[in-house]
Amino acid sequence: MLEGLKRAFQTLSEKVSKTRLSEKELGEALEEFKLQLVSSDVSLETAEHVAELIRPRLAEVQISRFGDGEEKIAALYRQVLSEILLDESPEKLLEEIRLKNSTRGDPYIILFVGPNGGGKTTTIAKIAFWLKKNGLTPVLACADTFRAAAIEQAKNLAEQVGIRAVSQRYGADPAAVAVDTITSARAGHESVVLIDTAGRSEAKKNLLEEMRKMKRVSSPDATILVLDSLTGSTGREQARRFHQDVGIDYVVLTKLDSDSRGGLALTVCYEIKRPIMFIGVGQGLGDLIPFRKEYLIERILA
């Protein structure tokens, strides 16, 4: 896991922890560092920003005869990574849900968006499972009326979690499915509406416009982008486009346990300035854990 990022930081440490480098030598080491970051799915802009943060701090590190250079450099890396990575406690989401339920008597609405094949529907089921464990009553809006078998998949997952699912026929207006679900959740005093949507790509303008319509009519309290960690530079473009076209509040990264490079987390946090709330670490309903920046930092610098 995250071997690419580990290697990039380790290689730079090996070059700067043993002896003091000249300005030119440090520049050359950082150029190689940036290339290693880019090969680990960090965008060029993000890699350059990381190097810009590291350079003046590395120049200030004094290599002492007591051999504590590596410790100083590791502390420097932790500081830089902590400045870039953004996390958000799921506890905050629980508080917001309960506050809306208690003060307004309305369900909290979460709109899920993401590209095709990113694990969005499965992630929704995992979040529903987590919400249920925390004493809430989620309901699933099967608003992906575009992809073949999407409704069956969503309903099957809802049954596994033990929650209600609202659906219509394929080809129905997804916005109507969302509105029906919200109306029925309000009547049934259910606490959270989770809206599944069809996977979008930048090539399908009609689907992007439909997604914007979904957001207008459902007025979600939060919009969550689900991205596959393994998509690398493609994931970066997807994040930028979804944030530009829809507006994102939180990010969930799937398959992080299988990611040997690990750069998308850094890229997403830097490029769209939105926090990661959960990461997927397996296929089971319970294989979703809150993202903590320290979790990633320790694995990168281990």
What pLDDT, in 10s, does the model give residues 111-166? 999 987 788 999 999 999 999 999 999 999 999 888 778 889 999 999 999 999 99
pLDDT value of residue 260 = 59
Q: What is the CATH T-level fold of the domain 90-292, as seen in this structure?
A: Rossmann fold (3.40.50)
Question: Hey, what CATH class is 3-84 in?
Answer: mainly alpha
Higher pLDDT, 27 or 256: 27
| Adjacency order of strands within the sheet including 276-280 | 164-166, 138-142, 192-196, 108-113, 222-228, 250-254, 276-280, 288-290
Q: What is the pTM of this model?
A: 0.92
Residue 65 pLDDT: 43
- Using a pLDDT cut of 70, give the percent of the chain over it: 92
Q: Residue 207's closest CA among 281, 124, 144?
A: 144
Domain ranges (residues) in the chain:
3-84, 90-292
- Segment 164-183 shows an average pLDDT of 92
pLDDT, one tens digit per residue, over 239-270 is 998 998 899 999 999 987 776 577 889 999 99
Place of tokens 């450099």: 73
